[in-house]
A = this chain, B = another copy of it.
Amino acid sequence: MDNLTEMLKGLLEGVVLNIVNRGETYGYKITRRLQDMGFSDVVDGTTYTILTRLEKRGFLDTQRRLSENGLMRKYYTLNQSGKKELTAFWTRWEYISKLLNNAKKEQKNG
């Protein structure tokens, strides 16, 4: 599926919050997870810009430490503020997706 970029705006960020909410993780792994979920065109650069943004806004706590394989990693966890934001995100999603599905139902010829 292509041409999803514009539709992903405001959504990808929430999906990342949701991934971090499932447990401590890091950028590289989040990108792989997004790709597995079906967001197949997402590249690392996108994930890192999102993570930086979310951290700046105070939704994520970070810890830089050596991983099992000897490489440095920046680990992210969702803090209280981030959990609030995640809830707000899903509320927005519910609202918007209902509106869109209503519109689709009213579709001509279908």
**Total count of chain A residues near the partner, CB < 8 A:** 37
Whether A93 lies near B100 (C-beta < 8 A) is yes
Partner of A15, one of B22, B88, B92, B103: B103
Q: Is the interface of A mostly helix, strand, loop or mixed?
A: helix
Question: Is A3 close to B, CB under 8 A?
Answer: yes
Whether B37 lies near A99 (C-beta < 8 A) is yes
Given contacts A39-B99, A99-B37, A99-B38, contact A92 B3 (CB under 8 A): yes
Copy tally for this chain in the complex stands at 2
Given contacts A37-B103, A97-B97, contact A7 B10 (CB under 8 A): yes
Given the complex, which residues of B lie within 8 Å of A93, measured CB to CB? Answer: 7, 100, 104
Whether B104 lies near A90 (C-beta < 8 A) is yes
- Nearest CB in chain B: distance from A12 CB, A: 10
Question: Is A4 close to B, CB under 8 A?
Answer: yes
Whether B5 lies near A10 (C-beta < 8 A) is yes
Please give the residue numbers on chain A whose beta carbons come within 8 Å of chain B beta carbons, in ascending order. 1, 3-11, 13, 15, 18, 21-23, 37-39, 88, 90-93, 95-104, 106-108
